[in-house]
A = this chain, B = another copy of it.
């Protein structure tokens, strides 16, 4: 892919060379995200941060990534579906908003809407999630996290990953699967209730690409012998009856005791967040919060690096970031407290 000026709409745009290029730039962003340096490379540029549905985490992550490169952020999180129902087309919105910005990050509840917007936009558009469809920066930050946590340089050939939870509806596990299928010899263990299994076409795609796929509804079986376990939320409301939901209650729970008993030492634990932290959630227990293998907050930190890298590449400044570097003069010491990977 030629990054400069491109829309970033789907994980399917990326081949493994693109991923390597992106991750190398993301690595170079780390001193800025850690506030060891700052850069003004995008001083004067404007990000149109356009959220048609609320998402504090992703919206702020994109905004901070742009600020860290020195740019301004103009934000919209109050576009209501009602405005769209009054008849303004995405074409019109795109023509107008793209006149205000240098680049747009956009989230929308409807699959395909970001692509539709991008076709009419006069500036590059980054998909920040279009309903059940795509959220490419999430899959990229997930893969980036896997490599960093496992200290893998280059392609992740031979990776053993379990994906756990609602694999039917989970946008993140679909995209991550597609992205991992670019590499050789990945061992997927897909753990879900049968009613929430990974869609057949994705499983087919993985197998045809030469990867090993095991499907199971047995958590303990699924946890064994992985490098990474990727948890997603089981949404009880997905089931047809409460009885059916009750069958699975607690079956996909991970806590310290279960981790110690069933996971290989140092198995990396990931989750796209938000997680339900209430005791009855039976998802990913708070007793894992300080566990060194819990990577979930390093995941969100990595999201800033990946988004900085996407902005830098699309706006053609990846090689200029360091030229505009300056010192940081304010307090930053506590910043990465209790974040092991940052101390490497």
Contacts and interface: CB of A to CB of B under 8 A. Distances in A.
Interface of A: 4-5, 35, 38-46, 48, 54, 56-57, 59-61, 63-64, 67-68, 70, 72-80, 83, 86-89, 91-92, 95-97, 99-102, 122-124, 273-278, 281, 286, 289, 297, 300-301, 304, 314-317, 320, 326, 328-339
Given A87-B276, A314-B331, 9 more contacts: A44-B326, A44-B328, A46-B67, A78-B78, A86-B276, A100-B304, A122-B334, A122-B338, A316-B330
Contacts of A286: 89, 91
28 contacts: A5-B333, A35-B102, A38-B43, A42-B330, A44-B70, A48-B60, A56-B78, A60-B74, A61-B100, A72-B73, A77-B78, A88-B273, A88-B274, A88-B275, A88-B277, A89-B277, A91-B286, A91-B289, A92-B273, A96-B273, A100-B304, A102-B330, A122-B334, A122-B336, A123-B334, A315-B330, A316-B331, A317-B331
B329 A41 contact: yes
Given A91-B289, A100-B64, A278-B87, A329 B300 contact: no
A329 B277 CA distance: 45
A337 B337 CA distance: 47
A300 B122 CA distance: 13
A329 B318 CA distance: 11
Counting from the closest, the 8 A-B pairs by CB-CB distance are A87-B276, A38-B44, A89-B277, A316-B331, A64-B100, A315-B330, A88-B274, A67-B72
Give the number of copies in the complex.
3
A116 to B, nearest CB: 12
Contacts of A80: 54
B277 A87 contact: yes
Contacts of A86: 274, 276
